[in-house]
Amino acid sequence: MEHGEDVIAELTADHREVDDLFEQFDNAAPGSSARKRLLDALTIELVRHSVAEEEHLYPAVRDHLENGGMLADKEIADHLRVEQLLKDLEGREADDTDFDRLVRELRIEVTAHVEDEENQLFPQLRDGVHPYVLESLGRKVREAKKTAPTRAHPMAPSTPPANKLLSPGLGLVDRVRDYVTGRGR
């Protein structure tokens, strides 16, 4: 899927990719290896997206929007719930008894978060932030996703500067693990 120039278009494109992965998951046979593969793809996309938002979008929300600190804190709390579910799913196979239930919980959390961002946060950004800033944030988000972790790390810092310092290292370790195990191919 083609991603847009500004941060809102970039993140909205990510949301549609996640929607598509959930649809593919629903269409895969229960207990199948395809479901595990799709969960891995979902995890990679969700973690990269979340890390990029935490590094660049939410600091901008704090700086540019009225009540930005409160808005950013709420979004980061949403991310933590999603990351914890991803971590709970990480070691499970598609035929484990809790697998489908946990993926349903994940989808509920992700859907609520996406709807909140697209219906509340993004319109406020569009109205309150100069287009140049939104384009600059789009570039930063695209770059952050290239080095972001690919696995859930719910105990890792979610605010700057610590997250900007640790994420590339965690991302490198995750990508090496993915390469060795074949995850995400």
Evaluate whether residue 110 is within a structural domain: yes
Quote the CA–CA distance of 64 and 108 in Å, as a whole number: 29
Query: What is the structure's pLDDT at 3?
Result: 55
Evaluate whether residue 176 is within a structural domain: yes
* Backbone φ/ψ region at 47: left (φ over 0), alpha (ψ -120 to 50), beta: alpha
Query: What is the structure's pLDDT at 38?
Result: 97
Cis peptide upstream of residue 131 (ω within 30 degrees of 0) = no
Evaluate whether residue 1 is within a structural domain: no
Q: Which residues of the chain have pLDDT under 70?
A: 1-4
Evaluate whether residue 148 is within a structural domain: yes
Evaluate whether residue 56 is within a structural domain: yes
Structure tokens at 32: 């199948």
Evaluate whether residue 58 is within a structural domain: yes
Q: Is 74 exposed, middle or buried (0-12, 13-18, 19+ CB in 10 A)?
A: middle
Evaluate whether residue 125 is within a structural domain: yes
Structure tokens at 5: 């120039």
Evaluate whether residue 127 is within a structural domain: yes
Quote the CA–CA distance of 69 and 108 in Å, as a whole number: 25
The CA–CA distances, whole Å, from 67 to 128, 131, 170 equal 12, 20, 31
Query: What is the structure's pLDDT at 1?
Result: 44
Quote the CA–CA distance of 150 and 46 in Å, as a whole number: 8
Q: Which of 43, 33, 44, 38 is nearest to 95 (CA)?
A: 33
Give me the number of domains the chain comprises: 1
Q: Please report, for the domain that includes residue 31, its CATH number.
A: 1.20.120
SS (H, E, C) 56-101: HHHHHHHHHCCCHHHHHHHHHHHHHHHHHHHHHHHCCCCCCCCHHH
Q: Give the structural domain span for 102.
A: 7-181
Structure tokens at 39: 């969960």
Quote the CA–CA distance of 124 and 7 in Å, as a whole number: 13
